[in-house]
Amino acid sequence: MDDIVLGNVTEFLKHVPPFQFLSEEQLRQLARRIEVHYFPRGSALIRRGERPPNYLWVVVRGGVKKALRTATGEEHIFEVASEGDLVGVLSSVNGLEGQLDDIAIEDTVCYAVPRTVVQELIATEPAVARFFLGAVREWVRTSLTALERREEAGDGSLLLSAPCRSVARQPLLTCTPETSVREAARRMSAERVNSIVVVDAQGGGIGIVTDWDLRERVIALGRALETPVREVMSTPLVTIDADQLLLEALRLMIGRRINHLVVTEEGRPIGMLTAFDLLVQQGTSALSLARAIDRETRTERLAYVLEQAQRQLLPFLLSRGIRASEVAQLVSEINDRVIARVLALLEQELGPPPVPYCWLVFGSEGRREQTIRTDQDNGIVYSDPPAGQEELVRGYFLRLGQWAVERLVALGFPPCPGRYSADNPAWVLPVDEWKRRFRAWMAVPEPQSVLSSLIVFDFRGVHGELALATELRS
């Protein structure tokens, strides 16, 4: 292991319990004995009932679910280990056979600490010994709590794991593009609904008219009531297949910031889902959390919204049988809202950005495979500045990146141990410089370049001029 890689391993472990209790020299000695293991998505680190592995793994990139499959084939997920978490604690401490199936939920890179090294640390470092003893106790407590929650949920509480057709309001109220605003409003009033879907001659949906459209695009602008609805409808029509889960409908509503979703079957509209329908189904509301984020005017108060998500929403969804991967998609939408709100508030403090920019997220954030407290992997891409203004423009975005990362840390999003974040000037660049860097990584695949590309190439835009992310991807 060369000095650069050794330094990266040491720096990473400084932030990972129980290795954070070791001195700098002890960490360097430990790093020399560590191996790097790669697990493709779906591969097993540990299988229940099999002999104990020879390693304790520290997740560097990716994620590992710790699950138990019952005799009926039902899977119970106890925990998802992400960046900085440990896998194989029980086996390392007590030499026990696998108690759960530990499976990579995405392509995963781990630092592998030999079990003999773990045993040496337990024998010689009291702080490390206390940590592992506490970890065993916590595993027992978490396992019992998960089983109790599953028992309380019962067999009928599927809620958001039900298909959209089970909740969609049918039959769907429709009209043609030439229908007048007056007639559309009359039908909506007669049916006691707040939307009507505009369909073409073949019955395909092409738009929607809601109470909002009537208020903002007709009354507020003084349009005539005989105006055809094609002139005031909202487009494009956002739809979801009838067999998709309600959880996906919820994710779409949060991501698109809409209150109506048209349910289709074989491409044809058959029913309507509204935000109210999902609020009733949820019991604990992700939609209300998303709206609270958008209304918040103080960054520090966003912490309360995230606490609600962590303490109420996520346990509620998991206890109702929603798969961890689906919950992660919803978590990503909520986290995206928080990031966008933090940046919008910072723009008010710093003033408008001097050129268009886009906030990028990398790694598990970029793949929408994250937990509520995943560490930050982010950067900024901005338009190439006018000649002579390079330093001014760069100074603005360096401050924005620094302050945004600090605000997100204060909200509970841990900093990236590897500094793949926007408070590092290396990840705040104009679009042409990003392109040159990508080309260099691909031209000379050195170890650090490969690691960086594994993290960064999963990027997506979250806030700002999203076209910059699209340009970078192309």
Confidence of residue 288 (pLDDT cuts 50, 70, 90): low
pLDDT confidence of 136, banded at 50, 70, 90?
low
Q: Sort strands 35-39 and 86-87 into parallel, antiparallel or unpaired.
A: unpaired
> Which class in CATH covers the domain with range 161-282?
alpha beta
- pLDDT class for 137, splitting at 50, 70, 90? low
- Banded model confidence at residue 133, pLDDT cuts 50, 70, 90: low
**Quick one: pLDDT at residue 15?**
81
> How high is the pLDDT of residue 154?
42
pLDDT more than 70, % of the chain: 80
Q: What's residue 146's pLDDT? A: 45
Cα–Cα nearest to 330, from 354, 353, 309, 344: 309
The H or E element containing residue 342 is: helix 324-350
Judge contact between 408 and 373, C-beta under 8 A: no
Is the pLDDT confidence value at 123 over 90? Answer: no
8 pLDDT band, cuts 50/70/90, is confident
- pLDDT at position 426, please? 93
Task: Give start and end residues of each alpha helix (H) in 41-125.
Answer: 89-94, 115-124
Strand, helix or coil at 180?
Answer: strand
- Answer whether 460's CB lies under 8 Å from 361's CB: yes
Percent of the chain with pLDDT over 90: 39
Judge: domain 3-153, CATH 1.10.287.1080: no
DSSP character at residue 125 = -
pLDDT of 228-268, one tens digit each? 999 999 999 999 999 888 878 877 887 787 878 999 998 89
- State both tokens at 126: 């009291």
Span 51-96, pLDDT tens digits: 888 999 999 888 888 887 766 676 766 677 777 889 988 777 767 6
Does position 359 have pLDDT exceeding 90, yes or no?
yes
Length of the chain counted residue by residue: 474
pLDDT tens column, 436-461: 999 999 888 778 888 888 889 889 99
- CA 37 to CA 133: how far, in whole Å? 26
Same fold, 3-153 and 316-473: no
Looking at residue 10, its amino acid is: T
Residue 401: is its pLDDT beyond 90? yes
Domain boundaries, the chain: 3-153, 161-282, 316-473
The tens digit of pLDDT for each residue in 147-176 reads: 444 444 443 334 456 688 877 888 899 999
Q: What is the CATH number of domain 316-473?
A: 3.30.460.10
The residue-averaged pLDDT of 33-41 equals: 92
> Do strands 75-81 and 64-69 pair parallel, antiparallel, or not at all (unpaired)?
antiparallel
Residues 6 or more apart whose Cβ sits within 8 Å of residue 147: 76
For residues 43 and 104, the answer to whether their CB atoms sit within 8 Å is yes
